Amino acid sequence: MRLKIALILFICCTIIINAQQKSEQVEGLRVNVAGVYALKNLTIIPEPKNKIENGVIIIRDGIIQSVGKNISIPNDALVIDCKGLTAYPGFIDLSTDYGLPKTQSPKNEVQSHTTENRGAGSWNSNVKPQNSSADNFASDKELAEKLRANGFTSVLTYPSKGIFRGSSAHVLLGEGDPNSQIINSNVINHISFDRDRSEDNYPNSLMGAIALIRQTFIDADWYLKAWSVYEKNPNQNRPEINIALDILNKAIDSKKYFMFETNDELNIFRASKIAKEFSLNSIVRGNGFEYRRLIDIKGLNQTIILPINFPDAPKVETPQEAYDVEYSDLQHWDNAPENPARLQKAGVKISFTTATMKDVSKFLPNLRLAVKRGLSIDDALQALTLTPAKIIGAEKNLGSISTGKIANIILTDGDLFNEKTKIRENWIAGKKYEISSPPQIDLRGKWSFSIIENTNIDTGSIDITGEIESLSTNYLKGNKKVKATTSKIEGKKYTSSFEGDSLGLKGIVRFTAQFENESLLGNGEFANGNNFIFSAKRISQFVQPSDSSKPSTIQNASFEVVYPESPFGRKEIPLQIENLLLKNATIWTSAESGILKETDILISKGKIIQIGKNLSSQKNIVEIDCSGKHISAGLIDAHSHTAISNGVNESGQSITAEVRIADVVNSDDISIYRELAGGLTTANLLHGSANAIGGQNQIIKLRWGALPEEMKFENAMPGIKFALGENPKQSNWGEKFTTRYPQTRMGVEQIIRDDFIAAVEYEKSFQDYKINSNLIPPRRDLELETLVEILNKKRIVHAHSYRQDEILMLARVAKDFKFKIGTFQHVLEGYKIAEAIKEIGAGASCFTDWWGYKYEVVDAIPYAGALMHEAGVLVSFNSDSGELARRMNLEAAKAVKYGGVSETEALKFVTINPAKQLMIDSRVGSIEIGKDADFVIWSGSPLSTETKCLQTWIDGRKYFDIDENKTMNEESIKKRAVIVQKILANPTKISGGGPSKNSHRSERYSCTDETTEGNN
């Protein structure tokens, strides 16, 4: 007896000692639970490509003690028979905000310096790398249950707001205090492009967010160097204390991952570019659109945390509904479920996440759909277990069912990837969480029943079929049959009700019966309140009917991916023709030679090498007969907002010289193709006019199908957007926009002057530092650095301008600071002061016939371009509109109508003149030997309203062909119809309830207004 007591005490003490060690003081009696479990008779999938039949898992104090066949079961183990169940490693999700407050708590969070200064953090409320998720974590019972039901046992959690969001914590999805659920803190540092979109906060555009990220990393580097110098030479002004920058430096130094969140495929390239620029150890949370640029994404060698949030099927029930759906949305619905398989087969390392899903319960169905659409089961399991474990350095503790690892295990009643399989249990750190228990009894089959009310006896039969957890019950009496309205099992208790009238029993009949020895016995109640005794006896067992239906066929995506993914995309970039001969054309050279009739052009490797009559055709030359056709240089738009992602304005501050259109070029904008159809080949992408000094421009060639970096005009002169007048002083923005400086026209001048003075001093600080390197290094400021480029004539100014007084004002500022104004844009009153514009060597890039849309343009006239041209100003016409950019040739023709400019000079307004203004005329803008083969073949005079653009070429590649366009239009109609029919044929649509629209593209329109308040 004493021996038994001693043994029990020993076991209890062992449990207490081996249980999780905690610092918390125990109050009252200690509670001990069983710490050792033996799960036997399992099918075990310990890791991908491995399987153990009739296996055993021994769990001791939350850790897997042993796993395999013929395992010896410890005497102190609680034995659980798991016959019919399969064990898988618990899933790991690396992108959640599980357990964090939706609005961040003050703990460990630095407030924005725009409100109340608390803590030595960043000046910008979007920059909070010091946020520690572990400090703000508390278990979320409701969400934990949902995640456990989908197989997840642990997650990475981090704040869902801001740009620099802080560090994540790796936490278990069990119950208990944070101390017991947090596995690791400060795991990954998280960055998003998701910014505050309110108009009075910086940044409120994608390019502003990228600029802030770039400046913050530069500041972190400066902070480290500044303190290093100060500690050696403290006899100078002490640098600031900045917790945010200090945390960033520690993360960079420790080689921790930075995870960038992206919402489309182009943002993956933007994130990778930032990571490369600052030598960051990075991974990407993807978005589901990766298949659109699969080969290029593979080349980035990035790990992608991949949402499998497939879109809902678009509404196409009526022809009108189908017409309203963009082709890209139809195409994405068709392709999205194959995205995981395509990435995996391409060799991209992926890990799955529930991120972006409105309904987490759709995760498993979507996962199974991805498997049906080509993802292997082993790869799917790898992406949920070992891969995420390795990413966060937890492979020694998680990711497989192996000895010594945390007992995070899910038990299913079959193959996890079969749509009928259910997750029955989820074990987290050795604690069981029941997900769904099958009924204890199976009542399916045929029964005879009796209902006894006093001396009355009614008899009949019952037919119970369906799934064991979803019964279908029919009550029969003679030749009458009625379906049960309720039919459910709880333990060994069966409850049912049915409409009794058709069986001779009035109203709804209800009863509850207990199952025992193939019999049911209980009591019930009629509609009139009378009670009865219910009994039934099973006549025969249920026999599963053979499935005579044809096996469902999984339809893969109907069409190959094209670039970009739109009705007018191609499988590859147009081929550059080695040697091309254009014969017998009327050539508008936009050069000294003027218009040449019946003349040939010879092109080789994308360059014009010969112009003349009767050029001889040689071997390996592609010849195009242009008899009756006209050829001009490719048209150039000196003021465009085409192809800019997520905002043309960074309106959060008055001066935003640091932001770059180059960061947000949208190569998939359908406007690019439409503008090619109008003969446009080059565009100057400008920041909007919300700022006195706006962002840096980007000149592009309209290389439809190329990536953003490939569209950029190589070695073009950098520029920047300035703005004068109503827009930068926020005249018509609304009552709440009355606090940002400047609010007056004279304030616009003053802030421009102030920033240039600061730039002069900034440049001098670097010169002083070169003389004395013992000084704390000057902080590199991207805003002032850009202005120094302007002062040093390495960047030219393009100034939004309307009134003559303001044009003269900026001309005086330019003289004072000796910088170059490339163009006055719009320049509506420029005709009044044309001589002054000519004197400073600035160009005028005009609207043609825009007037009357606000008071600021009251003196606008359509003759302005012609009058300035006559005065000797270099004049171009621009679009400032995705619509006008499609017919720039007709804009040029207006110079003939309004002012009598000759036809040859008028065409120069959209060819060589904007090329000169942008300082790219050595390559484009005219048909001359040595220039790029950027040209347009027209059906007639390019200035005629009856003329059509037949072909548009860039670099000797044909990017638009009117005949090909007709074919692509016809094909797109057929493709739409195929996908619509596929949707209509699949009434059950598996999806995560996610958005189907892609934020950076639209086939039907492109919004290019200069400000959100109103155009121009």
Note the pLDDT tens digit of each residue in 680-700: 999 999 999 999 999 999 999
552 pLDDT band, cuts 50/70/90, is low
Mean pLDDT of 503-529: 93
Percentages (nearest 5) of helix, strand, coil residues in the chain: 30, 25, 45
**Beta strands, E only, 829-897:** 843-846, 875-877
Give the per-residue pLDDT at 741: 85
Is the four-CA dihedral 404, 407, 409, 411 of positive or negative sign? Answer: positive
Say whether pLDDT at 27 is over 80: no
Say whether pLDDT at 14 is over 50: no
Phi and psi (nearest 5°) for 154? Answer: -150, 155
Greater confidence (103 vs 479) lies with 479
Greater confidence (45 vs 3) lies with 45
Note whether 356 and 307 are within 8 A (CB).
yes
How far is Cα of residue 788 from the mean position of the Cα atoms in its chain?
Answer: 35
- Mind listing the pLDDT tens digit for each residue in 178-190? 999 999 999 999 9
Q: List beta partners, residue 936.
A: 632, 952
| Spatial CB neighbours of 84, under 8 Å, sequence gap ≥ 6 | 413
> Tokens standing for 233?
């030479």
Closest C-alpha to 1008, from 639, 694, 678: 639
Residue whose tokens read 């001693």? 6
> Tokens standing for 602?
């010879």
Mean pLDDT of 355-376: 96
Closest C-alpha to 879, from 608, 626, 560, 638: 638
Mean pLDDT of 645-670: 96
Note whether 374 and 338 are within 8 A (CB).
yes
Say whether pLDDT at 54 is over 90: yes
| Spatial CB neighbours of 237, under 8 Å, sequence gap ≥ 6 | 776
> Tokens standing for 945?
């309203």
Phi and psi (nearest 5°) for 309? Answer: -95, 80
Give the per-residue pLDDT at 989: 52
Mean pLDDT of 882-899: 96
Q: List beta partners, residue 152.
A: 91
Distance CA(172)–CA(275), nearest Å, equals 30
Give the per-residue pLDDT at 294: 96
Closest C-alpha to 567, from 644, 643, 673, 667: 673
> Tokens standing for 448?
């005879």
Mean pLDDT of 447-460: 92
Give the per-residue pLDDT at 543: 86
Give the per-residue pLDDT at 356: 95
Percent of the chain with pLDDT over 70: 91
| Spatial CB neighbours of 816, under 8 Å, sequence gap ≥ 6 | 753
Map residue 891 onto helix, strand or coil: helix
Distance CA(34)–CA(719), nearest Å, equals 71
Q: List beta partners, residue 978.
A: none
Which of the residue ranges 333-347, 532-546, 624-638, 731-745 would you say has the lowest mean pLDDT? Answer: 731-745
Ordered alpha helix ranges (H), 938-1009: 962-984
Number of Cβ within 10 Å of residue 159's Cβ equals 24
Mean pLDDT of 836-855: 93
How far is Cα of residue 707 from the mean position of the Cα atoms in its chain?
Answer: 16
Burial code (b: 16+ CB inside 10 Å, e: under 16) for 790-820 equals bbeeebbbbbbbbbbebbbbbbebbeebebb
Give the per-residue pLDDT at 464: 94
Give the per-residue pLDDT at 547: 63
Greater confidence (198 vs 318) lies with 318
Burial of 771 (0-12, 13-18, 19+ CB in 10 A): exposed
Closest C-alpha to 429, from 187, 185, 171: 171
Mean pLDDT of 653-675: 97
1016 pLDDT band, cuts 50/70/90, is very low
Pairing of β 579-588 and β 630-633: parallel
Say whether pLDDT at 590 is over 80: yes
Burial code (b: 16+ CB inside 10 Å, e: under 16) for 299-338 equals ebebbbbbbbbbbebbebeeeeebeebbbbbbbbbbbbbb
Give the per-residue pLDDT at 546: 72
Distance CA(184)–CA(681), nearest Å, equals 54
CA-to-CA dists, residue 166 to 195, 248, 776, angstroms: 15, 9, 28
Burial of 639 (0-12, 13-18, 19+ CB in 10 A): buried
Closest C-alpha to 537, from 602, 460, 639: 460
Closest C-alpha to 976, from 328, 339, 337: 328
Burial code (b: 16+ CB inside 10 Å, e: under 16) for 223-243 equals bbebbebbeeeeeeeebeebb
- Mind listing the pLDDT tens digit for each residue in 97-137? 999 998 654 444 433 434 455 789 999 999 999 999 999 99
Distance CA(57)–CA(46), nearest Å, equals 10
586 pLDDT band, cuts 50/70/90, is very high
| Spatial CB neighbours of 241, under 8 Å, sequence gap ≥ 6 | 120
Note whether 566 and 555 are within 8 A (CB).
no
Give the per-residue pLDDT at 730: 82
Say whether pLDDT at 19 is over 80: no
Give the per-residue pLDDT at 109: 43
Average pLDDT, the chain: 91
Say whether pLDDT at 506 is over 90: no
| Cα angle, residue 455 at apex, residues 450 and 458 outer, rounded to 5° | 25
pTM summary value:
0.90
Number of Cβ within 10 Å of residue 555's Cβ equals 12
Ordered alpha helix ranges (H), 132-280: 133-136, 141-149, 178-181, 206-232, 243-253, 265-277
> Tokens standing for 440?
């204890």
Say whether pLDDT at 21 is over 80: no
How far is Cα of residue 1016 from the mean position of the Cα atoms in its chain?
Answer: 29
Residue 564: cis peptide before it, omega within 30 degrees of 0: yes
How far is Cα of residue 835 from the mean position of the Cα atoms in its chain?
Answer: 50
Give the per-residue pLDDT at 535: 96
Closest C-alpha to 654, from 761, 785, 754, 751: 751
CA-to-CA dists, residue 671 to 584, 667, 688, angstroms: 32, 10, 18
Mean pLDDT of 744-771: 95
> Tokens standing for 78?
């609680």
863 pLDDT band, cuts 50/70/90, is very high
Note whether 602 and 614 are within 8 A (CB).
no
Mean pLDDT of 625-637: 98
Say whether pLDDT at 197 is over 70: no
Greater confidence (825 vs 993) lies with 825
1003 pLDDT band, cuts 50/70/90, is very low
Distance CA(132)–CA(165), nearest Å, equals 9
Give the per-residue pLDDT at 555: 81
Phi and psi (nearest 5°) for 106? Answer: -65, -20
Mean pLDDT of 487-491: 90
Strand order in the sheet with 693-696: 693-696, 719-723, 796-801, 821-826, 843-846, 875-877
Tell me which DSSP letter residue 856 carries.
G
